[in-house]
Structure 1
């Protein structure tokens, strides 16, 4: 069976895929990518307002039922005749990894429990990476009974704090009324001790690492039987918050750049016994040529839209290899394109213009006027692409815009 696209070409219609998580640009990108390859998508969303549900590539969707996926997914697979299931969030990856890899004749395309546990535990990932020959930052995991004062006095500042295994600690933080953070910067021993003291009630503390300079570099690979079948890499140009977080502007790197590091990334994923897609994240220092490993992201990552625009189709790679049994080589991705995530990119600009003193990275140097000009000129850049906006699939952008306007009006009325 075949579909005729808006360009007039014909695309084979493949078996249905279920995508769990339509709320953000990542889920939307997976839906678009599969749909463009002729895969009918049934989405599962937490709200009718999910932007992925508005895509023309989402054939139909349903509200997420109460309970764990094991309670409702088998029935959904039967009703949709799906042959593949994708998930976006780490919480769903963990839940789905506990299910059999195949339910009936439907493939649950998520990592298996043991490799996933290694990747979610940043400390374990760093240990395996060091053994594989990668450069890792000095890291301290505080534990109960240690002399925090002596250790804090001996550290070299600034430092970065992050949770070794966020999904594992979130419930304890929530129960104690403590906020979860992705990254925190620590400048002095006093700040470090205050940070550690905050989490003493739950006897769980974040990982403490040396600060690594440079720029964000992500190397993405699809692993099958210990070998990479698809590779792509990008450089982070902007993030939200500005000192580190979600990539809001990124640029594809040439395939022949960072070749030796790409080989190390593949070696690391092989050591982790990883199958499927993953992004290996670094801080890259162009001056010294050093690549500091930050973490391995085992889920579909935030900058996935750039990979899609460059024809590095990771969801399709998983589907075609596992569901369709295709083993031919994936096309070589494009390079040089850029992609912007407009909502957080706009928030970043506002922070640079109106609140630069709130930026935690001690080595971040705001350039508000230069960034304002680059923001405006970015709309004219022929290399520019967008995370959500698409001329051929405009409804997700319109839905996203409508939600932002409604939120702004609600705030205005308060």
Structure 2
């Protein structure tokens, strides 16, 4: 296989980064990783040709020198914070393409209120949403809401520093069952004068539609269903499967229409709660970065990182191959934690409509190791060192916990 020019990947700490490294490497792209720790999991991949510790300061201060030193022709990033920083840079530094969304579309996607407003205008179904503001009559509004509700921050990067200064934990998703619980939640954040979005609870199953947008059109499409998450009531996808491309076609068209309205370029996942019995698709958010279930797309042949690289660096404009069907992917550590929660502490699951099927979940967990459709987020026979590093790190963490106890 021919060697293509180097790509820099900023953020090597998780399974998403590992997938990007493996994907680019399999297509002949050597990767230079930028990591916060020499123990970062993606650094162990055989496809990571070289790496460096992340320097202090803004990428604008150190990235041009790294590009010059490595001869990189592309820069990609994993975290939202890095995408925000890189989006302020020019789309190219010399001959190197900065493959991140532009600042204005990225800001619209990160701010869930803006995303929902645009989506509603173009005809997507969005949940009833309230953004509390200082001076409102919270008690009256709490009595008027329909329960249960979900609380989540409209723009997490904006509020992180305020929460940290006030000693408050950032909670990705909270469930609220009564007016009293809602008032207690709002009171918790009164010291910073900012509150999460309060949103109607939407049932159904998690459906993600992933698209790569170029010049207003999708050049690559893939969709998946979330089967399990950690925590069980909603979070990181721990078991997912592809959805046949012939399903949800009208909704896929709406997803493309939404990304076009957002002036989006590059990869994104449009997330829904789908109610099969009613046929409704409730828009949850648009994920404008490489998403947690990217390993499933990779194993199915939907190569979003490669799509970004080949179109920008190599100038390839031909259609991407159609993804394979009939694949499942498991994220074993959080999937195991999920099973333990279901079996041992089900009372800690916050979703009021979560269906407990502990024996079925245990059987499916064990049989999954024999399922020929199963692939894994981290483990790969062709690239075993990241898995071994992950195991060693888990053992070290367990030893440290025991020593502190």
1:200 aligns to 2:190 (yes or no):
yes
Offset from partner CA, 1:303-338 (integer Å, 9 cap, x none) = 000000000000000000011100000000011100
Match of 1:140 among 126, 130, 133: 130
SS at match of 1:315: helix
Aligned to 1:83: 73
Alignment of 1:103-182 (within 5 A): 103-182=93-172
1:272 is displaced (CA, Å) by 0.4
Match of 2:285 among 295, 300, 311: 295
* Separation in structure 1 between the aligned mates of residue 240 and residue 370 of structure 2, nearest angstrom: 16
CA RMSD in angstroms, aligned pairs only: 0.5
1:392 aligns to 2:382 (yes or no):
yes
SS at match of 1:76: helix
Aligned to 2:88: 98
Aligned to 1:276: 266
Alignment of 1:7-406 (within 5 A): 11-406=1-396
* Separation in structure 2 between the aligned mates of residue 99 and residue 207 of structure 1, nearest angstrom: 30
* Separation in structure 1 between the aligned mates of residue 375 and residue 390 of structure 2, nearest angstrom: 17
* Separation in structure 2 between the aligned mates of residue 410 and residue 16 of structure 1, nearest angstrom: 38
* Separation in structure 1 between the aligned mates of residue 216 and residue 180 of structure 2, nearest angstrom: 45
1:205 is displaced (CA, Å) by 0.3
1:257 is displaced (CA, Å) by 0.6
Q: Which runs of 5+ in 1 are unaligned?
A: 1-10
1:51 is displaced (CA, Å) by 0.7
SS at match of 2:191: helix
SS at match of 1:12: coil
Offset from partner CA, 1:333-359 (integer Å, 9 cap, x none) = 011100000000000001011100000
Offset from partner CA, 1:119-172 (integer Å, 9 cap, x none) = 000010000000111000000000111100000000000000000000111011
Which 4+ stretches in 1 moved above 2 angstroms? none
SS at match of 1:370: helix
Offset from partner CA, 1:210-229 (integer Å, 9 cap, x none) = 00000000000000000000
TM-score normalised by length of structure 1: 0.97
Offset from partner CA, 1:177-205 (integer Å, 9 cap, x none) = 11101100000000000000111111100
Instruction: Report how many residues are paired.
Output: 404
Aligned to 1:5: none
SS at match of 1:396: helix
* Separation in structure 1 between the aligned mates of residue 165 and residue 59 of structure 2, nearest angstrom: 23
SS at match of 1:277: strand
1:294 is displaced (CA, Å) by 0.1
SS at match of 2:168: coil
1:18 is displaced (CA, Å) by 0.1
